[in-house]
Amino acid sequence: MISKITSPDRLHGIVKPPGDKSISHRAGLLNSISEGVSHVSNFCVGDDRSSMLGCLKGLGANITRHTNCKISGAEECFEIIGSGLNGLAEPQDILNAGNSGTTMRLISGLLAGQDFFSVITGDASLRNRPMKRITTPLTQMGAYINGRDDGSLAPLSFTGSSLKGIEYTMPVASAQLKSCLIIAGLYSNSPSIIHQPAESRDHTERMLNSMGGDLEINGLTIKTGNKELSSVDVKVPSDTSGSAFWLIAGVCHSDSRITIPGMGMNPTRTGVLEVLESMNANITIENKHLEGGEPAGDVTASTSDLVATEISGDLIPRVVDELPILALAACFARGTTVIANAEELRVKESDRISATVDSLQRLGAQIEETSDGMRITGTHTLTGAEMETHGDHRIAMTNGIAGLLASGETIIGNSEDASVSYPSFWEVVSELQK
């Protein structure tokens, strides 16, 4: 699919991004191994949703999609009848996580503690993403895991085992690694103590606590337990990462005002708002409230006089998914923006450092690649060009927003890659161009 985009004179409107992917995945997984019946509405959309739900159903989870649900009042809702911690069944086929690293790593934590054999794989991109960071501590807990390159790469196989608690210092701040170990801890015969090097997304901790889980949090240290969970209904807030694309469009366009109702405002996810605030962005937040234990609010982004900033250190884990689109924002800021300590970007769906630099250079941006990030000097102008997605949904969407800001026509090949996390993205772009 090829998408052609031009910049409109005005960029005004209300955008409702899909439900938060991170929260959706955890709501599906944890409710499947809880006691009781739950309803999860505003579930994320796209291929990643299919990957997580497909893996859970492959393990025997009882998940039914309803429309116009009378209980949740939502147009679409998933009813999940929990089977308890030990109610899953040996899958009859290989589980497929598709392109979803979250699915691969969270489901691996679940499989490590089961008493049956299982195999999980993914698409070509996911099969080349590093898994040693989860297989190493899971093996220390007593899991029997085999995989390509000595357990470094999928497919990964799990043989029934009994887990024990460990004390583990994480090498990187990673919500996926942390969540994998917390989920495995539900099946351990003793507590695990996890030390984080820095703060990362805490959706798993919030949801487990709302389900009555045994979890102690002291600063960056987490102590897990294996208590049975109680199902909870969840109305998933709008995805913060998906919202970031429209926020950047709103602050960079010369005549814009974009409102995102019900955007997730979890403090471990709003690093993008902190960065935009440091850039002097015109952002307002109204109607702050809670959605299933997760904070949310209505966020409006308007035309701004942006200034350069530095994005590095402990902030990186909280903005890692938004760095490509923040690099685009830096093209419209006065001065030179530095992104550092972001080596993690090189092992995402693509090498997002190289992919971002390649994309923005094609548009005439003054951007250079460094070993752990980028340097961007704002020019306030970009010129339409032919772009590639590098097989990465976030690069595809970053390039789409760039097209809304660049003069002339921007042509994006393989733009369907955005459907991994945001199938309606190009429809929204078309509406905003009118």
What is the distance between the alpha carbons of residues 162 and 112, in angstroms, rounded to a whole number? Answer: 9
In terms of DSSP bridges, do strands 95-96 and 118-121 run parallel, antiparallel, or are they unpaired? parallel
Please classify residue 169 by burial: count the beta carbons closer than 10 Å to its beta carbon, then call 0-12 exposed, 13-18 middle and 19+ buried: exposed
Residue (of 320, 339, 334) closest to 280 by Cα position: 334
In terms of DSSP bridges, do strands 118-121 and 215-218 run parallel, antiparallel, or are they unpaired? unpaired
Specify the DSSP class assigned to residue 355. H
Q: Residue 361 is which amino acid?
A: Q
Distances (CA, A) of 327 to 54, 285, 312, 399: 34, 23, 13, 11
Query: Computed from CA positions of residues 277, 350, 385, 48, in that sequence, does the dihedral angle turn out positive or negative?
Result: negative
Residue (of 236, 235, 213, 237) closest to 225 by Cα position: 213
What count of other Cβ atoms lies within 10 Å of the Cβ of residue 227? 14
The structure tokens listed for 138 are: 């899971």
Q: Residue 337 is which amino acid?
A: T
Are the C-beta atoms of residues 418 and 426 closer than 8 Å to each other? yes
Residue (of 78, 15, 68, 73) closest to 44 by Cα position: 78
3-class SS at 66?
strand
Q: 8 preceded by cis ω (within 30°)?
A: no
What is the distance between the alpha carbons of residues 399 and 397, in angstroms, rounded to a whole number? Answer: 5
Are the C-beta atoms of residues 172 and 130 closer than 8 Å to each other? no
Residues with catalytic roles: 321
The structure tokens listed for 163 are: 């887990």
3-class SS at 419?
helix
Name residue 368's beta-bridge partners: 375
Distances (CA, A) of 55 to 104, 244, 272, 391: 9, 28, 31, 23
Provide Rg for the chain, Cα atoms.
21
- Phi, psi dihedrals of residue 266, rounded to the nearest 5°: -55, 130
